[in-house]
Chain A
Amino acid sequence: MVAATKRRKTHIHKHVKDEAFDDLLKPVYKGKKLTDEINTAQDKWHLLPAFLKVKGLVKQHLDSFNYFVDTDLKKIIKANQMILSDVDPEFYLKYVDIRVGKKSSSSTKDYLTPPHECRLRDMTYSAPIYVDIEYTRGRNIIMHKDVEIGRMPIMLRSNKCILYDADESRMAKLNECPLDPGGYFIVNGTEKVILVQEQLSKNRIIVEADEKKGIVQASVTSSTHERKSKTYVITKNGKIYLKHNSIAEEIPIAVVLKACGILSDLEIMQLVCGNDSSYQDIFAVNLEESSKLDIYTQQQALEYIGAKVKTMRRQKLTILQEGIEAIATTVIAHLTVEALDFREKALYIAMMTRRVVMAMYNPKMIDDRDYVGNKRLELAGQLISLLFEDLFKKFNNDFKLSIDKVLKKPNRAMEYDALLSINVHSNNITSGLNRAISTGNWSLKRFKMERAGVTHVLSRLSYISALGMMTRISSQFEKSRKVSGPRALQPSQFGMLCTADTPEGEACGLVKNLALMTHITTDDEEEPIKRLCYVLGVEDITLVDSASLHLNYGVYLNGTLIGSIRFPTKFVTQFRHLRRTGKVSEFISIYSNSHQMAVHIATDGGRICRPLIIVSDGQSRVKDTHLRQLLDGKLDFDDFLKLGLVEYLDVNEENDSYIALYEKDVIPSMTHLEIEPFTILGAVAGLIPYPHHNQSPRNTYQCAMGKQAIGAIAYNQFKRIDTLLYLMTYPQQPMVKTKTIELIDYDKLPAGQNATVAVMSYSGYDIEDALVLNKSSIDRGFGRCETRRKTTTVLKRYANHTQDIIGGMRVDESGEPIWQHQSLGPDGLGEVGMKVQSGQIYINKSVPTNSADAPNPNNVNVQTQYREAPVIYRGPEPSHIDQVMMSVSDNDQALIKVLLRQNRRPELGDKFSSRHGQKGVCGIIVKQEDMPFNDQGIVPDIIMNPHGFPSRMTVGKMIELISGKAGVMNGTLEYGTCFGGSKLEDMSKILVDQGFNYSGKDMLYSGITGECLQAYIFFGPIYYQKLKHMVLDKMHARARGPRAVLTRQPTEGRSRDGGLRLGEMERDCVIAYGASQLLLERLMISSDAFEVDVCDKCGLMGYSGWCTTCKSAENIIKMTIPYAAKLLFQELLSMNIAPRLRLEDIFQQ
Chain B
Amino acid sequence: MSVDNKLFVTEEEEEDRTQDRADVEDESNDVDMTAEENGTSSAVANGPEKEQQEQEQVKSEEVCGEDEEKEEEEEEDPIVEEFPLNISGNDESLHVFQYANRPRLIGRKPAEHPFISAARYKSKSHLWEIDIPLDEEAFYNKDKAESDWSGVNVQTLKGVGVENNGQYAAFVKDMQVYLVPVERIAQLKPFFKYIDDVNLTRKQEDAKRNPNPTSQRAQVVTMSVKSVNDPSQNRLTGSLLAHKVADEEANLELTWAEGTFEQFKETVVKEAEGKTLIALEKQEDYIDNLV
Residue positions of A touching B, CB distance < 8 A: 86-87, 261-264, 266-267, 296-300, 314-317, 321, 324-325, 328-329, 336-341, 343, 404, 528-529, 531-532, 534-535, 537, 539-540, 542-548, 552, 566, 570, 574, 578, 583-584
CB contacts under 8 Å to A, within B62-93, are 64-65, 68, 72
Stretch at the interface among B47-55, B135-143, B183-191, B273-281: B183-191
Docked-complex contact B5 and A548, CB < 8 angstroms? yes
B167: Cβ under 8 A from any A Cβ: yes
CB-nearest residue of chain B to A579:
B291
Docked-complex contact A539 and B8, CB < 8 angstroms? yes
Shortest beta-carbon distance from B264 to chain A in Å: 22
Q: Which residues of B contact A296 (CB under 8 A)?
A: 192, 195
Shortest beta-carbon distance from A280 to chain B in Å: 16
Docked-complex contact B187 and A340, CB < 8 angstroms? no
Docked-complex contact A337 and B234, CB < 8 angstroms? no
From A264, A325, A528, A574, B240 is in contact (CB under 8 Å) with: A325
Docked-complex contact B164 and A540, CB < 8 angstroms? yes
Q: Which residues of B contact A314 (CB under 8 A)?
A: 231-232, 234
Q: Which residues of A contact B234 (CB under 8 A)?
A: 314-315
CB-nearest residue of chain B to A570:
B72
Q: Which residues of B contact A315 (CB under 8 A)?
A: 232-234
From A264, A336, A404, A542, B164 is in contact (CB under 8 Å) with: A542
A583 vs B285: C-alpha distance when bound (angstroms): 11
Shortest beta-carbon distance from B129 to chain A in Å: 12
From B165, B167, B195, A297 is in contact (CB under 8 Å) with: B195
Task: Identify the 4 closest CB pairs spanning chains A and B, nearest first.
Answer: A328-B239, A341-B160, A264-B101, A528-B291
Listed A/B pairs (18) with beta-carbon separation below 8 Å: A261-B189, A262-B189, A296-B195, A297-B193, A299-B199, A300-B199, A314-B232, A338-B239, A339-B239, A340-B127, A528-B290, A532-B287, A537-B65, A542-B164, A545-B4, A545-B187, A574-B68, A584-B291
Shortest beta-carbon distance from B277 to chain A in Å: 18
Q: Which residues of A contact B8 (CB under 8 A)?
A: 539, 544, 548, 552, 566
Q: Which residues of A contact B229 (CB under 8 A)?
A: 86, 404
Residue positions of B touching A, CB distance < 8 A: 4-5, 7-9, 61, 64-65, 68, 72, 98, 100-101, 104, 125-127, 160, 162, 164-167, 185, 187, 189-193, 195-196, 199, 228-229, 231-234, 238-240, 242-243, 246, 287-288, 290-291
Shortest beta-carbon distance from A102 to chain B in Å: 29
What DSSP secondary structure best describes chain B's contact surface? Answer: mixed
A231 vs B132: C-alpha distance when bound (angstroms): 38
CB-nearest residue of chain B to A408:
B228
User: Assuming the A-B contacts A297-B195, A534-B165, A578-B287, are A338 and B9 also in contact, with contact meaning beta carbons closer than 8 angstroms in the complex?
Assistant: no
Docked-complex contact A340 and B101, CB < 8 angstroms? no
A94 vs B42: C-alpha distance when bound (angstroms): 34
From A261, A267, A532, B291 is in contact (CB under 8 Å) with: A532
Q: Which residues of A contact B193 (CB under 8 A)?
A: 297
Q: Which residues of A contact B191 (CB under 8 A)?
A: 263, 297-298
A321 vs B125: C-alpha distance when bound (angstroms): 17
Docked-complex contact A267 and B189, CB < 8 angstroms? yes
Shortest beta-carbon distance from A894 to chain B in Å: 48
Q: Which residues of A contact B196 (CB under 8 A)?
A: 297, 299-300
Q: Which residues of B contact A584 (CB under 8 A)?
A: 291
A870 vs B9: C-alpha distance when bound (angstroms): 88
Shortest beta-carbon distance from B45 to chain A in Å: 23
From A86, A539, A552, B228 is in contact (CB under 8 Å) with: A86
Q: Which residues of A contact B9 (CB under 8 A)?
A: 566
CB-nearest residue of chain B to A89:
B228
Docked-complex contact B7 and A544, CB < 8 angstroms? yes
A570 vs B76: C-alpha distance when bound (angstroms): 14
User: Assuming the A-B contacts A264-B190, A299-B196, A583-B288, are A340 and B239 also in contact, with contact meaning beta carbons closer than 8 angstroms in the complex?
Assistant: yes
User: Assuming the A-B contacts A324-B240, A528-B291, are A540 and B190 also in contact, with contact meaning beta carbons closer than 8 angstroms in the complex?
Assistant: no
From B5, B72, B160, A547 is in contact (CB under 8 Å) with: B5
Q: Which residues of B contact A340 (CB under 8 A)?
A: 125-127, 160, 239, 242-243, 246
Shortest beta-carbon distance from B21 to chain A in Å: 12
CB-nearest residue of chain B to A338:
B238
Shortest beta-carbon distance from B101 to chain A in Å: 4
Shortest beta-carbon distance from B135 to chain A in Å: 18
Shortest beta-carbon distance from B236 to chain A in Å: 8
Docked-complex contact B160 and A534, CB < 8 angstroms? no
A574 vs B67: C-alpha distance when bound (angstroms): 13
User: Assuming the A-B contacts A263-B191, A264-B101, A545-B98, are A328 and B61 also in contact, with contact meaning beta carbons closer than 8 angstroms in the complex?
Assistant: no
Q: Which residues of B contact A86 (CB under 8 A)?
A: 228-229
User: Assuming the A-B contacts A296-B195, A324-B239, A546-B100, are A535 and B4 also in contact, with contact meaning beta carbons closer than 8 angstroms in the complex?
Assistant: no
Shortest beta-carbon distance from A334 to chain B in Å: 14
Q: A546-B100, A548-B4 given. 9 additional CB < 8 A pairs?
A: A314-B234, A325-B239, A404-B229, A531-B291, A532-B291, A540-B165, A542-B164, A543-B164, A547-B104
CB-nearest residue of chain B to A542:
B162
Docked-complex contact A545 and B291, CB < 8 angstroms? no
A540 vs B185: C-alpha distance when bound (angstroms): 11
Shortest beta-carbon distance from A900 to chain B in Å: 59
A328 vs B239: C-alpha distance when bound (angstroms): 6
Q: Which residues of A contact B190 (CB under 8 A)?
A: 263-264
A537 vs B8: C-alpha distance when bound (angstroms): 11
A86 vs B234: C-alpha distance when bound (angstroms): 11
Docked-complex contact B167 and A543, CB < 8 angstroms? yes
A537 vs B65: C-alpha distance when bound (angstroms): 8
Interface-centre pick from B68, B189, B246 (highest chain A CB count, 10 A): B189
Docked-complex contact B5 and A545, CB < 8 angstroms? yes
Q: Which residues of A contact B238 (CB under 8 A)?
A: 328-329, 336-338
A540 vs B100: C-alpha distance when bound (angstroms): 16
A322 vs B101: C-alpha distance when bound (angstroms): 28
Q: Which residues of B contact A547 (CB under 8 A)?
A: 4-5, 104
Interface-centre pick from B68, B104, B187, B239 (highest chain A CB count, 10 A): B239
Docked-complex contact A578 and B189, CB < 8 angstroms? no
Q: Which residues of A contact B162 (CB under 8 A)?
A: 341, 343, 542-543
Q: Which residues of B contact A404 (CB under 8 A)?
A: 229
Q: Which residues of B contact A570 (CB under 8 A)?
A: 72
CB-nearest residue of chain B to A328:
B239
Shortest beta-carbon distance from A123 to chain B in Å: 41
Docked-complex contact B189 and A543, CB < 8 angstroms? no
A540 vs B162: C-alpha distance when bound (angstroms): 11
CB-nearest residue of chain A to B235:
A315
A1038 vs B165: C-alpha distance when bound (angstroms): 84
CB-nearest residue of chain B to A537:
B65
CB-nearest residue of chain B to A344:
B162
A584 vs B162: C-alpha distance when bound (angstroms): 28
CB-nearest residue of chain A to B68:
A574
Shortest beta-carbon distance from B289 to chain A in Å: 9
Q: Which residues of B contact A328 (CB under 8 A)?
A: 238-240
Shortest beta-carbon distance from B287 to chain A in Å: 5
Docked-complex contact A297 and B240, CB < 8 angstroms? no
From A264, A329, A343, A535, B61 is in contact (CB under 8 Å) with: A535
A317 vs B232: C-alpha distance when bound (angstroms): 11
User: Assuming the A-B contacts A86-B228, A296-B195, are A578 and B243 also in contact, with contact meaning beta carbons closer than 8 angstroms in the complex?
Assistant: no
Interface-centre pick from B9, B65, B187 (highest chain A CB count, 10 A): B187
A266 vs B187: C-alpha distance when bound (angstroms): 15
Docked-complex contact B192 and A339, CB < 8 angstroms? no
A110 vs B167: C-alpha distance when bound (angstroms): 51
Docked-complex contact B290 and A532, CB < 8 angstroms? yes
Docked-complex contact B231 and A321, CB < 8 angstroms? no
